[in-house]
């Protein structure tokens, strides 16, 4: 854990807190509507399919998926200066095996070895006392 983490952090509120609490336990969970059998990501107040919230639960995912698309960040913008020391780095849109897609970093490899379709698995980075970020490594 870095002593002074200087990058943008999410705001934790009642809607998003369960996600971040599970991340702290190194579990990847997302909302799931038992009525619709639908995963929901990012966190929502009601199921986008049935419009209700009475069957929504936080279900665990395998943490495995494939890269659907990705970018290599080459320059920072004003409000994210702290990322400049990482450049170039990869943000991928990962399609989890259960269906939902999540944006995250691919860590542990150079951007040159990344392609669409690559298999990846979640790894957890404890960046502050409150926040653990779900990142991904190649399988």
Partner 1 sequence: MQSGNAYIGSENPNGTLARKFAIVGYGETEVSRARVDKGEKKLSVKEYLGMAVSLALEDAGIEKKELENQGFGVTGSAYPHAEIYSGEVVQDLGISPKFLIRADTGGNSGATLLSQAGMAVSSGLVDVVLCVGADTPMNITYPGAVREWRYEADFQKPFGMMGPNSQFAFIMRRHMHQYGTRLEEIGKVSVSQRENASRNKNAYLKAPITIEQYMSSRPIADPVKLLDACIQVNGGLAFIVASEEYAKRFPKEKVVWVRGMAECHNYRHGSALSPDLTYTGITVCSREAFRIAGIEQKDVNLLQIYDDYALAVIMQLEDLGFCAKGEGGKFVSEHDITYKGDLPINTGGGQLSAGQPGMAGGMVHIVEGIRQLRGEAKERQVSRAEVCVVTSLGCLEYNNTFAHASTIVMGV
Q: Which residues bind partner 1 (CB under 8 A)?
A: 7-11, 16, 38-39, 41-42, 48-49, 68-80, 83, 86, 88-89, 91, 93, 95, 99-105, 111, 116, 131, 133, 135
Residues whose CB falls within 8 Å of the CB of residue 26, separated by 6 or more in sequence, listed in order:
124, 132
Q: Which is nearer to partner 1, 7 or 60 (CB)?
A: 7
Q: How far apart are CA 61 and CA 27, in angstroms?
A: 8
CB of 54 to partner 1, least distance (A): 20
Q: How far is the CB of 72 from partner 1 (least distance, A)?
A: 4
- Minimum gap (Å) between residue 73 Cβ and partner 1: 6
5 CB contacts (<8 Å, ≥6 apart)? 127, 128
Q: Which residue has 């860590």 as its token pair?
A: 107
């Amino acid at each position: 854990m870095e002593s002074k983490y200087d990058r943008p952090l999410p705001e934790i509120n009642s809607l998003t807190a369960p996600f971040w609490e599970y991340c702290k336990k190194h579990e990847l969970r997302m909302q799931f509507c038992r009525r619709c059998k639908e995963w929901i990501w990012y966190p929502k107040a009601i199921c986008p399919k049935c419009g209700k919230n009475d069957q929504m639960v936080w279900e665990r995912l395998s943490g495995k998926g494939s890269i659907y698309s990705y970018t290599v960040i080459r320059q920072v913008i004003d409000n994210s200066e702290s990322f400049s020391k990482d450049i170039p780095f990869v943000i991928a849109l990962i399609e989890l095996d259960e269906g939902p897609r999540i944006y995250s970093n691919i860590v542990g490899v150079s951007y040159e070895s990344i392609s669409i379709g690559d298999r990846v698995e979640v790894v957890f980075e404890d960046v502050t006392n409150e926040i653990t970020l779900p990142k991904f490594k190649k399988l």
